[in-house]
């Protein structure tokens, strides 16, 4: 079974219109994963432990009629085909099969039983888009974005962190990742942005976080347009729980496009007078352009006592509540940055880490248990797909 799953995964990895969203070791795990993931198409081997493929297909047809099953078997006799169809399967693959046979079967089932039923796509969950923004550099925006992304990932959430500080992005160095692939590689040839191309240029951090990094050189930044960024979000939004942007301290067409698309905007400020002045101007500017101010969540970073004013003064001066406060722990933050490690993993009991973990808790609730059960479950969506 492990070899079969590996072969199927290899055959489908480069298919732009098909995405494997889960794997299971037996029929019982497959049924549980279908309940959780609600894929469009399921590949089910006829011989599986605990619950065999035919019984599992029968249960899926009864309990999840919108999920379509393809049975795989080494036996190609008509009797096995008949039994698979009786169990509710929509097609039958005889092993061994070629990549073309596999892809054609999945797409035929999708086109016949799923594609023209828009109600199957209407309620698919889409990622919440969170943007970290500040009005000046040096306030710790990238550090907060990185550590929140890592914290959400550690809670079992699927997260994509996009470094939209296109000229001088720091996400790569903050997580000690070589920028071998970047967002620029997606647009440099003028090709259509597809899921397959996006995935080819995503860096996968060891903690499970996906990264789409800023261009290696400032000169490449202009090639990335706001429409490219929005296309990326549109393409992957059903694959992730959260898409997090680290934005530069600018307000151009690109930043405004991302901010408009965001569900929440984390506006980062410190107690330095220049930061407070710029933050106040920023809020007024957003108000002047009729930006939805309810999306803005003020983050007080690097909080230290006895500097002349504090959180209450900040709230009164800006007329906006502080969503979260992150204490100043410069030694932990600096050591984490220099080592290219997230402090929420390296120093999880520190006050600075607990504040970020608290933000993640506030967003998603207490930590969830991830089911790592591995039959091959696939989802297709209109030549795109969800997770």
Interacting residues of 37 by C-beta distance below 8 A, sequence separation 6+ = 21, 22, 377, 379, 387
- The pLDDT confidence band at residue 378, using thresholds 50, 70 and 90, is low
Instruction: Establish if 355 belongs to a structural domain.
Output: no
The answer to whether residues 118 and 135 belong to one domain is no
The pTM score is: 0.70
The answer to whether residues 34 and 142 belong to one domain is no
Mean pLDDT on 139-166 = 94
pLDDT at 384 (0 to 100): 37
List for the chain the helix, strand, coil content (%; round to 5). Answer: 45, 15, 40
Instruction: Establish if 387 belongs to a structural domain.
Output: no
The answer to whether residues 71 and 143 belong to one domain is no
- Work out the percent of the chain whose per-residue pLDDT is above 70: 91
pLDDT at 385 (0 to 100): 33
The answer to whether residues 160 and 194 belong to one domain is yes
- The pLDDT confidence band at residue 371, using thresholds 50, 70 and 90, is very low
The answer to whether residues 117 and 198 belong to one domain is no
The rounded distance, in Å, linking the Cα atoms of 376 and 11 is 12
The answer to whether residues 204 and 234 belong to one domain is yes
Instruction: Establish if 33 belongs to a structural domain.
Output: yes
Mean pLDDT on 238-256 = 92
Q: Greater confidence, 121 or 193?
A: 193
The answer to whether residues 57 and 176 belong to one domain is no
The answer to whether residues 110 and 161 belong to one domain is no
Interval 131-142: pLDDT, tens: 999 988 888 999
Task: Give the count of beta carbons closer than 10 Å to the beta carbon of residue 136.
Answer: 17
pLDDT at 233 (0 to 100): 94
The answer to whether residues 374 and 233 belong to one domain is no
The answer to whether residues 114 and 138 belong to one domain is no
Q: With beta carbons less than 8 A apart as the criterion, state whether 161 and 210 touch.
A: yes
* Residue carrying structure tokens 């994963």: 33
CATH code of residue 180: 3.40.50.300
Instruction: Establish if 365 belongs to a structural domain.
Output: no
Range of the domain at 317: 128-347
Structure tokens at 378: 């696939």
CATH code of residue 114: 3.40.50.2300
Instruction: Establish if 360 belongs to a structural domain.
Output: no
- On average, the pLDDT of the chain sits at 86
How many domains does the chain divide into? 2
The answer to whether residues 14 and 38 belong to one domain is yes
């Amino acid at each position: 079974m492990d070899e079969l799953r590996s072969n199927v995964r290899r055959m489908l990895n480069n298919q732009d219109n098909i995405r494997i969203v889960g794997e299971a070791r037996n029929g019982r795990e497959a049924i549980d994963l279908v309940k959780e993931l609600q894929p469009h198409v399921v590949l089910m081997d006829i011989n599986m432990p605990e619950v065999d493929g035919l019984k599992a297909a029968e249960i899926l047809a009864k309990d999840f009629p919108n999920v379509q099953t393809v049975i795989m078997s080494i036996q190609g006799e008509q009797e096995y085909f008949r039994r698979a169809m009786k169990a509710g399967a929509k097609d039958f693959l005889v092993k061994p099969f070629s990549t073309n046979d596999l892809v054609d079967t999945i797409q035929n089932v999708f086109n016949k039983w799923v594609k023209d039923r828009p109600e199957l796509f209407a309620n698919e969950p889409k990622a919440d888009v969170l943007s970290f923004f500040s009005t000046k550099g040096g306030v710790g925006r990238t550090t907060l974005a990185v550590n929140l992304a890592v914290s959400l990932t550690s809670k079992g959430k699927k997260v994509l962190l996009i470094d939209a500080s296109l000229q001088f992005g720091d996400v790569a160095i903050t997580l000690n990742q070589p920028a071998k692939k970047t967002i620029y590689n997606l647009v440099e040839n003028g090709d259509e942005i597809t899921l397959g191309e996006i995935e080819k240029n995503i860096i996968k951090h060891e903690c499970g976080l996906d990264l789409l990094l800023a261009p290696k050189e400032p000169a490449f930044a202009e090639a990335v347009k706001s429409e490219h960024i929005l296309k990326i979000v549109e393409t992957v939004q059903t694959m992730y729980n959260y898409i997090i942007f680290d934005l530069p301290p600018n307000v151009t067409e690109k930043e405004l496009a991302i901010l408009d698309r965001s569900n929440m905007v984390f506006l980062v400020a410190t107690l330095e007078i220049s930061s407070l002045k710029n933050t106040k101007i920023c809020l007024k500017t957003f108000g002047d352009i009729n930006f939805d101010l309810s999306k803005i969540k003020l983050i007080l970073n690097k909080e230290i006592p006895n500097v002349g004013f504090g959180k209450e003064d900040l709230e009164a001066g800006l007329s906006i509540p502080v969503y979260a406060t992150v204490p100043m722990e410069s030694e932990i933050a600096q050591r984490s940055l220099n080592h290219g490690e997230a402090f929420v993993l390296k120093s999880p009991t520190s006050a600075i880490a607990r504040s970020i973990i608290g933000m993640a808790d506030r967003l998603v609730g207490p930590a969830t248990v991830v089911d790592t059960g591995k039959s091959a479950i696939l989802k297709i969506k209109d030549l795109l797909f969800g997770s």
